[in-house]
Structure 1
Amino acid sequence: MGCKIMEYEYVTIEELLNHPNDILAHLKEGKKSETLLEHMNTTKKYLELVLKDYHIDKNVKHIIENIKKEDTNNCSERVHQIIFELFINGIYLHDIGKINPNFQALKMSNNKFQSFSNNSKHALLSAIIYQDIYIEKMDTYAKLKDDEYNLLFAITHIFAYLISRHHTHLNELVDYIDDQDKITTQLKHHNEFIQSINIDVGNKNYYKNEKEYQTDVEDYLETSEIYILARLFYSLLIACDYYATYDYMSSSSIEVRDFGLVKNVPNIKEYYHQTEIMKKVNQYFNYKKTHRGKNPFSNEPINALRSDMLKEATDTLNANKEKNIFYLEAPTGSGKTNISINLALNILEQNDSINKIMYIFPFNTLVDQTFETLTKSLGEKLESTVVNAITPIKTNKMNDEEAVNYDEEYLNYLFLHYPLIITTHVRLFNMLFGCSREENIPLMHLANSVIIIDEVQSYKIKIWKEIIYFFDQYSQFLNIKIIIMSATLPKLDELLKGEIKEASYSNLIKNREAYFMNPLFRDRVALDYSLLDGEMMDLETKEEQLDFLLDKVDAIWKEKGKAKILIEFLTTNSARAFYDKALEKHRHKEVFELTGSDNKNERMRIIDLVRNKLEDCLLITTQVIEAGVDIDMDIGFKSISFLDAEEQFLGRINRSCKRKGRAYFFDIDEAKTIYKGDFRLEQNLHKKKLREVLETKEFSQFYQNILEEIDLYKNRNNDDNFRITKSEIIKMRFSKIYEKMRLIDNENTVDLFVNGVENINGKRVKGKVVWDEYKKLLNNNELSFGEKKIKLSAVKSKMNYFIYTLYIRNPALKRPSVYEEEIGELYFIDDEQALKKNGKFNKMEAYKLFNHEPSDMDFL
């Protein structure tokens, strides 16, 4: 049984400080200075608001109740209560270091203090004072056993480190050993400082060296609970400090209603069930149950199948309410988004503590697409908000006359004060593992939420084990319900055997064969391997292979008269070469190229044309088309990579299941070079066995081998060994964990802003105008922080129409030889024609600006 942590016991600041009302925390022109005591009490107000009304106190207490002593036995209730006291007081005392006379004199212009050096920092001093207070207190606690004392000491040390970093970023816990001496050696002999506080500060030498530290602290951090507690502490610390500072600076209090929590779930569900699709779904269920009335799907068997899947997934969810992670494995075109909406609303209805929904996608194209679907399904009853790098920060301005409270709107964005958020996997992983202040703030809002993750198989395969481990731990301790959905879904929990004591997973579709093997899905696309087995494989050059493919496209058009044809290559280089050939040969046809080099405007334009307006076209693309993009093609060609990518590609062919599609597979680009180190590459369509898996949709066979290979790899003596990750968790090596869990490496990329004219929101806009607008905003120091951030986000969304990214392997070559202006590492190129061919960005020409000899890796 868990303990009952009830009391909120705070340090009495009036007893700790001799003249608390003389110490200032914040200044604002035209306003009375805020004392440290006032700021601390406001911080405490927001801390309790978040803990109690946002239900995060339950998360904190749940984590604490699972912390065990060195001997793995549960701690006493007294120890649990002390840990909770350490937690809340660490946040309450986070600014106590502002008693630094240098800070008061230099930063606060407080004439009651005199500076004796230019070291006006306060965060590190706050940490040391906090730690001194509690080490002294612990020496007075009765009935503490040695292992309990050592555990409490270790947790105090962690919280102190996090306090010391609350104005910067996280690195490694061991850094705190060296940090402790930096400021106290200056302060501990300064009379004015000594007289201001009733505690002996800085005379406790906790550690002589790192080895002693590791013996004293790391032995008591053997599980992930304390790591998650530490990250939640840091998130709440930064958040409550931010809330309290905003409260003073803006004279505006934040109420729990402002947190963007989901409310009135019955009303939301009622609205959702009144949409056209759900009215038909419910009518269908009633018909099946009573055999009365009309079957709305009598002429739409695919919708009947989708409805059956929705019901099975929902029934399974309702029968497994106690589980945390759910797999939604469903064929392409089965309506996963609609099923997931129904699942999320059911979770919200069943669990009062769940109060937010997040949709996570690997690609921004899916973000935009899902936003449109959710808006149709939920309307204004549950407002959807996109949070990513290319969408302007949302404001609630209703008309031109209404003023925008920019600081409040930026706070809402930073803290994710929205009930339904659609964002990217990179943003999610920054919340879970990031080291900056802004990355950590939203973590508290992940607690008590539903997180729906799409296309998890697209994440870096070498960290699949770490991904599911952290999903397991975060969902368990922060009350998160995670729905992982895909047509090709690896059951990642298989990698955790022996790593966790209890699994909390459920497959929402128990009878997957009933859907995957149904002819409507299984026979939607005929598979053709003739290009892998025939004469194309004997051709010696890529030029010959591309000509062969183009002849094949010609033959299909001659046979069918008109057809929507999709062809996917693995590199933009191959796609561009084929596009140039096809454009030259078929000037009378609609020929398009869509790759990662295209901006948002071009992607939306092409997808809209292909999806809604054309019945005869050729779309040449790369992997950007694979997962979830809502287009419906007649014929497909794909350069092979790994099996789940092939299945995702098939999802773009005959998506509506109204006709018969066909897909041809070929092998041009060297997948091993492009997907270096991916265990799936050996299991490709050159093997007959894998063709059978693709045809029968028995992906579990495919993934079983892959997961076994990953597990073996994770147990080998290498830098990716899972034991190293566990060690980094124990040592609180935040930056190392972040580096390991980072999904995309942007360190070797460079961005070019290429001048030109783009259609943005129906207007033709010159790139130079947008560039100048961005420069002007950057240099405008009259705007408030929030207004500047929001206006910059709006300009940056327009800049994305002109920005192209290159991968440069040699950091010494990251500056182009020719450019007009630069902002940071963004370079303005005025000569658009020099970098474009047939209206498309030409990577090969762009690389010439860097004296960089590109490889296939550069053309992904």
Structure 2
Amino acid sequence: MLPFLGGKMLDLLIKNKEQVYAHTSETKPKETLEQHLDLTMHYFEKIYNEKNLSSIEENFIKLFNNPLMFKELLRSAIYLHDIGKVNVDFQILKMDNKQFGKNTMDKGEHSLLSSLIYLDYYYKEISKNKDSDSLVVAYINAYVISRHHGGLSDISSFQESLQKLLLMNKDNKNITYLLLNSIQLDEDKLTSIYNIVKKRISAYSEDWENSIPYIYARWLYSVLVACDFYATSHYLYKEVEHIGVIDNPQQWQVQYEKTNLVQSIRNQNVDTMPLNKLRTELFLEVEQNAKNNLNELLYYLEAPTGIGKTNTSINLAMQLLNNDSTLNKIFYVFPFNTLAEQTYNALKDIYNDEFDIAVVNSITPFKEKDTAEDAPDYGSILLDNQFLHYDMVVTSHVGLFDILFGTGREQTARLYQLCNSIIILDEIQSYKNIIWTEIIGFLNMYSKLLNIRIIIMSATLPYLGKLIGDDSIVKLVNDRDKYYNNPLIKNRVKLDFEMIGEENTFDALNEKIAEHEQQEKKILVEFINKQSAYDFYIQLKEMNFDTEIVLITGDDNKFDRRAIIKKIKKSDKIIVISTQVIEAGVDIDMDIGFKDISLLDAEEQFLGRINRSCLKENCIVYFFNLDNLRLIYKEDLRTDKLLTLAEPENRQYLVTKNFDTYYDKVLEDLLIENKSCNDRNVQDFLRNKVGNLDFKKVEEKMQLIDNINMIQVFLARKVVVEDGEIDGKDVWEQYQQLIDNNQMDYAKRKVELSKLSEKLDLFIWNVIEFDKSYNEQIGGIYYIEDGEQYFEDGKFNRKKLTGDDFELL
């Protein structure tokens, strides 16, 4: 801590500091402002040391052109974040402070006042040195201080708010009554500061350098909010002891190395199965390339489906973790919650309960750590989830992007946990490619500034570095063709494109399936539209085949999904009708496949479900063309007919696995789009949105999934689970009670709601249209007591509820 921070600094700024309070409690004495600020700095030091933030700080100092006062400005921004609580009206209204008279017109706002006091104090210091880089940092810090009780918005509105506060201060002396010195800033000086800051920020504007102030502001916001939360929690509940860092990397590696699979690889004792030999070669090649490039930040892991990328990536994380002492956390990030759950289970098979691993998403209960207490420590459980106090976090792409680009307080507050971490990103290219340039550009800058190792892995991985002119991203596989053109991979499935031109697709499918149904075969039919899958399932069942027919879509709950997959694995003869959920890492091994064409990436993912073991013969996949791809993937350039299997030339890319040539065409189109005179222009986005710190606009641009006004409908029915039955009526009643219980402690309610979320998910469907009568409504959820009426043969009939026949997955 800098020597002037603490009581001495308060003595320089305010009078009667012992009379100024920061928090109150029904069970404890009021906390003084000085006590709270000191606690905040205590937690800053804790985070700074445990998360190794010194290197992060040096990165920002260097990229901000070495501001003379950076370190002081950073620490005092943390310390002075609540100095605005000297507002007498805040003391009267919020602290019930009897030492002051009646409040005036002010509502007791303090965050904006804190930022004004901070900026006023440092403007005087910075002006002496004529250090414009320090002024930029001070202004950004002041903005962050002003927002620490809310979300991030845009910095131009901050300027307007400061001007209004100055005017208000002229009429209401209560606001700054407790300050020893009056505010020296006026409207003209504020305008001058703003203009200098904007001009100086524009000087950083060399392509992706625009993002330096943006990422810095988000990082500081995260650290500040965490320190403030921890200090407040310390006062109200107890000390925050653990923030979730790996302090024993060797134990993680030793535990991993003890697994039978890794032991067999190390001892060169892999069984004679050819595919396992290929998996071993990939494992060892990636490991060696990682060891040769330990100081790099971004890595590409491209390998065919079913060849062991998950195990290889775990080993890769262990290698990086144990060769860089600054790294202290691992994030595993997936496109779907089902994949997250599946990988979590695989990780738990390796690591016992002594290793702190948690799934963090909207449908998984908050993790409860073992304690000596009899009753759950709800405050700690909630805080752990809010700030990711786990050594390893398994989450979704959407969850990660909320941290990187979201504007909400809880979303952004988690960002500091990414510092000095390893992030394993699976299938990131599966999202709309219209923002691929922005995705790789931001990942590149975040990795440089926050010292993050990012591993991007996929079976069909375009070299996204081309979009930002960066060829330094490490390819962990030297010769991809060694794996893709290996006969085991290349020849495991024969491809047939003749059905693509069929007009009556259902009839053609029925005929071809009938041919294969006579054999002992496992058949998989994939649609890109839920309703099409459902309609074909109903039609196929009417054909009375001597084979069991099952349907699996995104409408199935996780228990049904598990039961269906278990049945598929046990069966020698079965017909599976599905949507693209079957591509999401589902470990099944089918004989015959039929697929509605979509993106080339999805076609390859689907092929990974056919002859996955590479031990079968005469396996074949037929492609057909039924539903409109553009209705699903909207702006994605890969929906252009010239880039799908509808164009005969593209079929060879899938046959030969020559995805590089295919993606060269896609990236070429993207580079043209990046320069277009519209909202897709990347330079305009960087200069006018990112460079101007318009956090809301950046969040909007970086949405992985386009916002559609979905309606949530709770369909009460009885659902069979692994250990019994769950009645939707009971779950809804529990939900009602939790929502209505105003006497329950906030932390306890949030934890109990998280426990219930897993059950709620069994009964909630998202629909685009809904005009049916309902029994009750809580928030945005409509409750229908007789939910069973919308199901046939145990499957949700979407048309019955909405009349809409189009839904993805």
Q: Secondary structure at the match of 1:170?
A: coil
Select which of 387, 390, 398 maps to 2:363.
390
For 1:724, the equivalent position in structure 2 comes to 684
Amino acid at match of 2:12: E
1:743 matched to which residue of 2?
704
What secondary structure, in the 3-state scheme, does the structure 2 residue paired with 1:482 have? strand
Q: Which residue of 2 aligns with 1:851?
A: none
Quick one: distance in 2 between partners of 1:42 and 1:394?
27
Query: Which AA in structure 2 matches 1:351?
Result: D
1:219 matched to 2:202? The reply is yes
Give the letter aligned to residue 704 of structure 1: D
- Structure 1 residue runs without a partner (length 5+): 1-5, 69-74, 285-294, 809-814, 849-853
Matching of residue 119 in structure 1 with residue 76 in structure 2: no
Contact 1:133–1:199 (8 Å) recurs in 2: no
Distance 1:191 1:700, change over 3 A: closer
For residues 403 and 119 of structure 2, what CA distance do their matches in structure 1 show? 27
CA distance in 2, matches of 1:338, 1:219: 44
Matched, 1:549 2:535: no
After superposition, the C-alpha distances for 1:181-225 in whole angstroms (9 at most, x for unaligned) are 333433345455544112322742244599957855643553322
Distance 1:587 1:122 in 2: 72
Shift of 1:715: 0.6
**Which AA in structure 1 matches 2:620?**
R
Q: Which residue number corresponds to residue 606 of structure 2?
A: 649
Contact 1:599 1:803 in 2 (8 A): no
**Match of 1:92?**
79
Q: Give the unaligned 5+ runs of structure 2.
A: none
| Aligned residues of 2:135 and 2:197 also touching (Cα < 8 A) | no
Bigger mean CA deviation after superposition, 51-60 or 96-105 = 51-60
Inter-CA distance 9–513: structure 2 relative to 1 (3 Å threshold): farther
- Separation of aligned partners in 2, 1:391 and 1:538: 43
Give the alignment partner of residue 565 of structure 2, picking from 591, 607, 613.
607
1:195 to 1:678, Cα distance in 2 relative to 1, 3 A: closer
Q: Report the RMSD for the aligned CA atoms in angstroms.
A: 2.1
Whole-angstrom distance in 2 between the partners of 1:104 and 1:616: 74
* Number of residue pairs aligned between Structure 1 and Structure 2: 797
SS of the equivalent of 1:619 reads strand
Give the partner amino acid of 1:622.
T
Aligned to 1:169: 151
More deviation in 686-695 or 403-412? Answer: 686-695
> Aligned-pair distance for 1:7?
6.0
**What is the CA-CA distance between 1:495 and the residue it aligns to?**
0.3
Q: Separation in 2 of the partners of 1:202 and 1:807?
A: 55
| Residue aligning to 1:374 | 347
Q: Specify the alignment match of 1:734 in structure 2.
A: 695
- The Cα offsets for residues 578-620 of structure 1, whole Å up to 9 and x where unpaired, read as 0101122237532111112222222222122213x22221111
Determine if the alignment matches structure 1 residue 671 to structure 2 residue 671: no
Conserved 8 A contact 1:392-1:793: yes
Aligned residue in 2 for 1:254? 240
1:71 corresponding residue in structure 2: none
Alignment partners' CA distance in 2, 1:53 and 1:666? 55
SS at match of 2:782: strand
| C-alpha distance in structure 2 between counterparts of 1:838 and 1:600, whole Å | 17
Q: Which residue of 2 aligns with 1:570?
A: 528
Does the 8 A contact of 1:154 with 1:220 survive in 2?
Answer: no
CA distance in 2: counterparts of 1:710 and 1:737, whole angstroms: 19
* Partner in structure 2 of residue 232 of structure 1: 219
Question: Does residue 1:823 correspond to 2:806, yes or no?
Answer: no
CA offset at residue 514 of structure 1? 1.4
1:837 aligned residue: 792
The 5 A counterparts of 1:124-135 are: 124-135=112-123
What is the rounded CA distance, in whole Å, between the counterparts of 1:669 and 1:556 in structure 2?
Answer: 24
3-state secondary structure, aligned to 2:711: strand
Q: Is the 8 A contact 1:184 1:202 kept in 2?
A: no
* Kept in 2: contact 1:261–1:355 (CA 8 A): yes
Query: Within 2, Cα distance between the matches of 1:177 and 1:279?
Result: 61
Match of 2:575 in 1: 618
Q: 1:194 to 1:555 in 2, by over 3 A?
A: closer
Pair 1:93–1:527, CA change in 2 (3 A): same
Equivalent position amino acid for 1:603 in 2: R
Contact 1:177–1:210 (CA<8 Å) still a contact in 2?
no
For each residue in 1:273-308, what CA deviation from the matched residue of structure 2 results, as whole angstroms up to 9, or x when unmatched? 111111111111xxxxxxxxxx442x2121111111
Counterpart secondary structure, 2:247: coil
Distance 2:297 2:198 in 1: 35
- Aligned-residue identity in percent: 37
Match for 2:93 among 87, 101, 106? 106
SS at 2:576 equivalent: strand
The one-letter code matched in structure 2 to 1:104 is: Q
Q: Structure 2 length normalisation: TM-score?
A: 0.95
Which secondary structure does the structure 2 equivalent of 1:396 belong to? coil
The residue aligned with 2:163 is 181
**1:186-585 maps to which residues of 2 (within 5 A)?**
186-191=168-173, 193-201=175-183, 203-205=185-187, 206-208=189-191, 212=195, 216=199, 218-220=201-203, 222=205, 223=209, 224-250=211-237, 252-255=238-241, 258-284=242-268, 295-297=269-271, 299-380=272-353, 382-397=355-370, 402-497=374-469, 504-532=472-500, 537-539=501-503, 544-558=504-518, 560=519, 562-585=520-543
**Contact 1:267-1:381 within 8 A present in 2 as well:** no
- 1:755 equivalent in alignment to 2:716: yes
Q: Which residue of 2 aligns with 1:28?
A: 25
> Which residue in 2 is equivalent to 1:776?
737
1:630 corresponds to which letter in structure 2? Answer: D
Query: 8 Å contact 1:24–1:35 — kept in the other structure?
Result: yes
Q: Which secondary structure state, in structure 1, belongs to the residue aligned with residue 765 of structure 2?
A: strand
Distance change >3 Å, CA 430–CA 538, structure 1 → 2: closer
C-alpha change, 1:731 and 1:644, in structure 2 (3 Å) is same
Q: Secondary structure at the match of 2:525?
A: strand
- 1:550 Cα shift? 1.6
Match status 1:158 vs 2:158: no
Give the drift of 1:60: 1.9
Paired residue secondary structure (1:764): strand
Deviation string, structure 1 residues 227-279 (Cα, Å, up to 9, x no partner)? 111110000111000000000001x2223xx1221132222222211111111
Give the drift of 1:816.
3.1
**Residues 764 and 855 (structure 1 numbering): CA distance in 2 closer, same or farther, change over 3 Å?**
closer
TM-score (norm 1): 0.89
Cα distance in 2 between the residues matched to 1:8 and 1:737 = 38
Q: CA deviation at 1:644?
A: 1.3
**Which segment drifts farther, 650-659 or 728-737?**
650-659
Larger mean Cα displacement after TM superposition, 119-128 or 758-767: 758-767
Tell me how far apart the structure 1 counterparts of residues 2 and 489 of structure 2 sit (CA, whole Å): 57
Deviations 1:305-359 (A, max 9, x none): 1111111001001101121010001111110010001000000100000000110
Report if aligned partners of 1:642, 1:680 keep a CA contact under 8 Å in 2. yes
In the alignment, is the contact (CA less than 8 A) between 2:502 and 2:508 conserved in 1?
Answer: no
Q: 2:334 is matched by which residue type in structure 1?
A: F
Shift of 1:859: 4.8
Shifted more, 196-205 versus 746-755: the winner is 196-205
Instruction: State the SS of the aligned residue for 2:230.
Output: helix
